[in-house]
A and B are shown apart, each in its own frame.
Chain A
Amino acid sequence: MNSATASPPSEGGPRLETVRLRATSGFSRVLSPRELWRYRDLALQIAARDVTVRYRQTALGAAWAVLQPIGFMVVFSLVFGRFAGISSDGLPYALFSLAALVPWTFFANALLLGSESLVSNSALVAKIYFPRIFMPAGAIAAGLVDLGVSLVILFAIVLIWGVVPPLAVLVLPVLVLIMLAAVLGVTAALSAVNVRYRDVRYVIPFAIQMWLFATPVAYPSSIIDEPLRTLSAINPMVGVVEGFRWAVLGADPQLTLIGISAASALVLLAAGLAYFDRVERSFADFV
């Protein structure tokens, strides 16, 4: 739809761009840097809106970003750490689980909000053109603010506990990027399916629960036997969560797991965007 060609320069007036609108196939819009750049102001506005609206008219505001992982930490510490006696690779269980819960909470919320984003903005999608990927991407970007807040609290708690993060803390941005790639890929695909099949709305909360148990948040991946452990890293959150423990708490580096997860995240990203691009054209007809 955007095989844009510059128009011949007209006398005097400014040069205007001519866009040819026609039926398209294959990759065209989602990955077109030109389109994304042209609509950059809108992308910022959508992300800013999602951030502003998220905690408006809430009494605790952004504290919710922190309360959620801390609440889980308390419950996990009691249930898994104390009663079930699950190993935490020699780390204090509370820190062990919190370091994993911080990225996990971001991931779960991004998935939940991002996959609804196209449907909850259906009025816009049906009436105005913009690169549709901004909707799920904006929802995810808004979650980054929460992630920032909860990372600060995580480091505060870790330091108060008397643990000094190792030099590996420098890999943290890479881990966040892996997580972003995975969540954008999955969310793009799910939000697109949601436009057509509203079943997605019911599947997501359930799938997030399942995904939590498939990820070593409450337990260390060391309790899984090989080769299953290496295989489990196809779930990109396995590498991210283990990576966070390494970067924040100085746990043993699980480089193989992180590597597999990173590769898997990239595959998810490419596949998710490819699917999104394929069905994007029909969003206005179905939403």
Chain B
Amino acid sequence: MSDIAIQTSELGKEYALGLSSRGYGTLREGIVNAAKSSLGRLSRRGERPRQDTLWALRDLSLTIREGEVVGLIGHNGAGKSTLLKVLSRIVEPTTGWADVTGRAGSLLEVGTGFHPELTGRENVFLNGAILGMRRAEIRSRFDEIVAFANIERFLDTPVKRYSSGMSVRLAFAVAAHLEPEILLVDEVLAVGDAAFQRKSLAKMSEVAEEGRTVIFVSHNLAIIQALCSRGVLLEGGRAVADAPVGEAVDQYLRALERGANDDLLERSDRDGRGWKEVLVKRLEMRDSVSGRPDVIVGGRPAKIVVELSAVLPSIECQLTILNSLGNPVTTVDSLISAPSDVRDPEIGPRIECEFDTLSLVPGRYRIDVLVKARRQIQDGLQAAAFFDVEPGVVGDRPMPAVDSDGDVVLGHTWRLPS
């Protein structure tokens, strides 16, 4: 029987909301607040001053055995990153406890410890130490790290002269060669070019197969399903599912669909950096001709309609279509404009995006949306809507069956020997 690597019991983390939690308060505000609260305490004895708080984690009890590879899934703000932060000791839990057995190394953010003035070589040692490696350990793996990052020639060049791709590769190489008993990974595979991503992914599964304990956070359900055996679904800081990864992912997808069916204004898992002058009220994929929503015949014209709560000048919109595993299929962005784009004063609080032919393979897709105005992200929702694509015709050719490889169909013509 394997030993327990991580055990948490009724783990909770509370954050204070509001300006003071942003940290940039000034001393004057601090003094005024302190005076206010002590005055308040005098007048209302015993009653604690009310403050807006948020429980990012709540009553979380988990047991993770040595060698398990666990994927954390959930909406934005469900508590995934907070749990990693608690386990990597960056923040203290407010309630409960977590027992961590062995060294826990985190790949929370690749390359945070890099100093631009230092050379690649110096940064490898600094970054290794930051990630918890002993000096001797780094020295023994130094050549491997440098070879993985493929930067031998630039070892003695300051990192500030590196291309961004080079520094990301070096940073990931250091992190990937770290050998803690427990590895905490947060969305780091979205770095570098495609070839490097494949290499990184291969490295990650190698780590998982070595019998190391890994906790993995990603929005990419395909990667989660490929790497993890167990999935924990978090919602509002609580674990709502803890099951084999397939089941947990299914449950997450069902939760996403429920969210898409509800009134979008009621959702709290929004991206918006606090601006929110415009919110997405409703989003729909429609057949352009019949106007029928949510079920589209592949190969026909279709449009996405976004209804907003208000209109702002120079509003922009980005839409991403993702397949059922959470892999992005395509992204369209109104910031990349074409002469045929129209700004219509009569359209009201809505945005429409027309596709000449929706050449997607039959299956279920979802749409993520970001609305920008005044150079800020005003609102963002993942899985704002779902739609099904039914088999259709692209050009004159019938579409392949549901379980074909890939997500798109391109119009094409063959030339074959007779």
Cβ–Cβ < 8 Å partners of B408 in chain A? none
Q: B112 contacts which of A21, A24, A56, A123 (Cβ < 8 Å)?
A: A123
Could you say which of A95-103, A147-155, A193-201, A204-212 contacts chain B?
A: A193-201
B98 cross-chain contacts in A, Cβ below 8 A: 20-22
Residues of A within 8 A of B108 (CB): 127-128
Residues from chain A with a CB closer than 8 A to the CB of B115 are 49, 53
Residues of B within 8 A of A197 (CB): 25-27, 30
Kindly name the residue among B30, B92, B97, B109 whose own CB sees the greatest number of chain A CB atoms within 10 A. Answer: B92
A199–B109 alpha-carbon span in the complex (Å): 29
The verdict on B93 contacting chain A, using a C-beta distance below 8 Å, is: yes
* Known A10-B3, A21-B92, A52-B122; contact A128-B130, beta-carbon cutoff 8 A: yes
User: Within residues 161 to 219 of chain B, which ones have a CB less than 8 A from any CB in chain A?
Assistant: 181
B315 CB-CB contact with A under 8 Å: no
On chain A, the residues within 8 Å of B129 by CB distance are 41-42, 44-46
Q: Take A41-B129, A197-B27 as given contacts and tell me if A284 and B100 are in contact as well, using a CB distance cutoff of 8 Å.
A: no
By a CB distance below 8 angstroms, the chain A residues around B25 are: 196-197
Known: A49-B122, A123-B112, A127-B112. A21 touches B26 (CB 8 A): no
Taken together as a complex, chains A and B put the C-alpha atoms of A21 and B95 apart, in Å, by 10
- The answer, among A52, A124, A196, for a CB contact under 8 Å with B130, is A124
B100 adjacent to A18 (CB under 8 Å): yes
- Given known pairs A41-B129, A49-B115, A53-B118, the reply for A128 and B90 (CB within 8 Å) is yes
Q: Does A59 contact B (CB under 8 A)?
A: no
Number of residues on chain B facing chain A (CB within 8 A): 48
Q: Are B130 and A285 in contact (CB under 8 A)?
A: no
Complex Cα gap A49–B126 (Å): 8
Give the interface SS of chain A, mostly helix, strand, loop or mixed: mixed
A19-B99, A123-B112, A285-B21 known; A42-B94 Cβ under 8 A = no
* Docked-complex contact B30 and A196, CB < 8 angstroms: yes
Residues of A near B3 (CB, < 8 A) are 7, 10, 13
Docked-complex contact B27 and A199, CB < 8 angstroms: yes
Within 8 A of A (CB), among B1-30: 3, 15, 21, 23-28, 30
Q: Which residues of A contact B (CB under 8 A)?
A: 1, 7, 10, 13, 16-24, 41-42, 44-46, 48-49, 52-53, 56-57, 123-124, 126-130, 195-199, 281, 284-287
Supplied contacts A127-B90, A196-B25, 12 more A-B pairs, CB within 8 Å: A17-B101, A23-B92, A45-B125, A45-B126, A46-B129, A52-B122, A57-B117, A124-B112, A128-B108, A129-B88, A281-B91, A286-B23
Question: Could you write out 5 A-B pairs with CB less than 8 Å apart?
Answer: A41-B129, A41-B133, A42-B129, A56-B117, A197-B27
